[in-house]
Amino acid sequence: MSDLIAKNPQFETVVRDSFSRQPFMELIGARMSDLKPGFCEITLDRDTRLTQQHGFFHGGLVGSVVDSAAGYAAYSLYPENSTVLTVDMKVNFLRPADGDTLVARAQVIHPGGKLYHLKGEAFSVTEGEETLCMTGVFTMMCLLGVADATSLGKDKVRAST
């Protein structure tokens, strides 16, 4: 879908700034490797602390990284002074994510008013070869006039430990 147009000309700055403020993505070492209007890619290198008992990337983590990519793919199309929240996600795991790197990609399928529908995929990468390991659908909400900040800017900032 190349006909998607960003409403906010500063979308790249806004989205990348928001991503840099996600402590969980920072914790796992995820980086935003591509961003276009309606599309986002997040890359994550393998670390044994991110794996489950079989040595594969943990499924919940794979879902989380694609969720983050989907949220930012949607957010890239939002107008100024707005923020994003996941409404729902459904994923199917196709193969174990047993590669050196995990690449999450999400694409807006339908930009609505309040709700945006997306498709998301995760690829396991070994020696440059990508294998599709997860596919899913995501619904994101567009919150207008709400700050992209802790507690949506409404509450006191929670103390971090």
Partner 1 sequence: MMDAMFLKRIESVIKSQKFMQHLGAEIVAVEAGKVSLELKYDERWSQQKGSFDEGVVGVLANHAAGLAAATTMQDGRGCQVAEYKLNLLTQAKGDKLVAEGRVIKSGRNLVIAETDVYIFDQGKRVNCALLLATLVAVS
**Segment near partner 1 (CB under 8 A), from 37-45, 62-70, 106-114, 147-155?**
106-114
Among 4, 117, 130, 146, binds partner 1 (CB under 8 A): 117
Tokens of 104: 């999450």
Is residue 58 close enough to count as binding partner 1 by CB under 8 A?
no
How would you list the strands of the sheet with 39-45, edge to edge? Answer: 31-36, 39-45, 101-111, 115-126, 129-144, 82-93
Is residue 114 close enough to count as binding partner 1 by CB under 8 A?
no
Burial of 94 (0-12, 13-18, 19+ CB in 10 A): middle
Q: Check if the beta carbon of residue 28 is closer than 8 Å to that of residue 2.
A: no
Among 18, 86, 95, 98, binds partner 1 (CB under 8 A): 95
Strand, helix or coil for residue 139: strand
Among 101, 130, 139, 146, binds partner 1 (CB under 8 A): 139
Beta carbon of residue 27, minimum distance to partner 1 (angstroms, whole number): 29
Phi-psi region of 98 (alpha: psi -120 to 50; beta: other; left: phi over 0): alpha
Q: How far from 48 is each of 1, 22, 54, 56, 139, CA to CA, in Å? A: 36, 21, 10, 9, 31
**Segment near partner 1 (CB under 8 A), from 33-41, 58-66, 89-97, 98-106?**
89-97
Q: Which is nearer to partner 1, 21 or 90 (CB)?
A: 90
Is residue 48 close enough to count as binding partner 1 by CB under 8 A?
no
Residues of this chain that interact with partner 1 (CB under 8 A) are: 90, 92, 94-95, 109-110, 112, 117, 119, 132, 135-137, 139
